[in-house]
Chains A and B, each alone.
Chain A
């Protein structure tokens, strides 16, 4: 069974440009999460989808970030326009049910974003 995949693995862009990150969750997993680790800090929650619906986006830093999950399959996270402080590693995770106590979230390899 394929795990969570993310594309691209790395992205280097200039301040003010737009970048779109993609995540493909494990097949059959209704729950998809985006997390981010900025330099020297811990991994932090950004938002959560249940199927195609945004369930919680309390961790999104500002309105330059837009996440979508059309059709309830893959998800995209767009940063527009990118700022220097957006640099970091963006992780996607998925889980099957989302409500179960102790349910495991499985992580993708991450997209390393560098904004110059």
Chain B
């Protein structure tokens, strides 16, 4: 069964304290791994797509990496505005060749000044 597991569930950091979030997955036929950011009361906001092991993507203080079994979201020198829930999702196949997303439960990040 396709599954996505994120850890830790919650993470508290001091401003400037770098850390990493983990997303491990088991899926038959990975078509892409996605990272989304979700703020309270809002929908998931797209951050990155990774396709193959060894791939890396960066955006401001965030860097996402991918291996055959897991992905990491590295946060360098975080600021309070980086506080959010970070969601990992893998893209697999629906009937007819269309895509669907399987989400992990998310990591709630709080960055304190």
Contacts and interface: CB of A to CB of B under 8 A. Distances in A.
Interface in B90-113: 91, 94-106
Nearest to B42: A109
Interface in B31-71: 31-32, 34, 36, 41-46, 49, 51
Given A42-B105, A104-B34, A107-B45, A55 B87 contact: no
A50 B98 contact: yes
B100 A91 contact: no
Contacts of B99: 95, 98-100, 103, 105
Chain A interface size, as a band, is 20 to 34
Interface of B: 4, 31-32, 34, 36, 41-46, 49, 51, 87, 89, 91, 94-106
15 contacts: A6-B43, A31-B98, A41-B105, A42-B103, A44-B103, A55-B96, A56-B94, A56-B98, A100-B99, A101-B32, A101-B91, A102-B31, A104-B34, A105-B101, A110-B42
Ranked 7 nearest A-B pairs via Cβ: A102-B32, A107-B43, A43-B103, A56-B94, A42-B105, A107-B44, A42-B103
